[in-house]
Amino acid sequence: MDKKLDEQYYRQLLELQQLDFALVELTLYLDTHPNDMQALQQFNQLAQQRQQCANQFEMQYGPLMQFGHSYSKYPWQWVESPWPWQV
């Protein structure tokens, strides 16, 4: 990857991590406040945003998750590194 791609790769990966953090926190909150409509709406909005962000990342850089949670282009992309959890 050239420097510009590296910056974009890490920026998108950081955005995914931030969305995941917010979704975990909202999940914990909603476990104890299941009737909070505003929190539920925020959770659903962030879940949709996360899905879009993950799809865009995977189209550019390859799969994020294994075991059928992410598609792979041809040839099989899991032999390419670094994997998202290695950076």
Q: Distance between CA atoms of 16 and 20, rounded to whole angstroms? A: 6
pLDDT along the chain (87 residues), means of 10: 74 95 92 91 93 92 71 60 69
Q: What is the pLDDT of residue 63?
A: 81
State if pTM tops 0.85.
Answer: no
Q: What is the pLDDT of residue 86?
A: 73
Alpha helices, DSSP H only, in the chain? 3-32, 37-61
The residue length of the chain stands at: 87
Q: Are residues 25 and 17 in contact, defined by beta-carbon separation less than 8 angstroms?
A: no
Q: What is the pLDDT of residue 79?
A: 59
Q: Distance between CA atoms of 70 and 36, rounded to whole angstroms? A: 31
Q: Among candidates 49, 43, 84, which has minimal Cα distance to 66?
A: 84
